[in-house]
Amino acid sequence: MSVKEIALKNALHILKALNCQFLVITSDGHEYGDLIAATPNRKRAKSPLPIGTYSKHFRPYIDNLKVGDVAAVPIGSFIPGELQSNMCSRAAVLWGTGSYTTHVSNDNVEILRIK
């Protein structure tokens, strides 16, 4: 048995004696302990557009809508589904979930405030 293996064995013995919950993963991938290793967070793909580009486009159309009002936001060069998704996110923040409905037409994303 190597010095490293003896040190590991002693450390594990001490952790168990102290009733600690632990997970030790050695450099060769062996796992010791009762806990389960967390999976690393997935990294999101970087958007080709700067942060706030969608918001700057649609906010003038929807920020002041009253109940019953409809806004037609031109799609322009944006991806329709992504524009709609960003609009829904903003509408949920402004008015709450279930307070609006949206529709993608050929040239516009329409949003109706219902609450």
How many contiguous H segments (helices) and E segments (strands) does the chain have? 3, 5
**33-78 pLDDT per residue, tens:** 989 888 888 887 888 899 999 999 999 999 999 999 999 999 999 9
**79-114 pLDDT per residue, tens:** 999 999 999 999 999 999 999 999 999 899 999 999
Residue 89 is inside which H or E element, if any?
helix 80-95
Q: Is-contact 114 103, C-beta < 8 A?
A: no
- State the pTM of this model: 0.63
Place of tokens 């109940």: 67
Separation of alpha carbons 29 and 40, rounded Å = 16
Angle at alpha carbon of residue 19, lines to 15 and 23, rounded to 5°: 50
Residues paired with residue 101 on neighbouring β-strands, in sequence order? 112
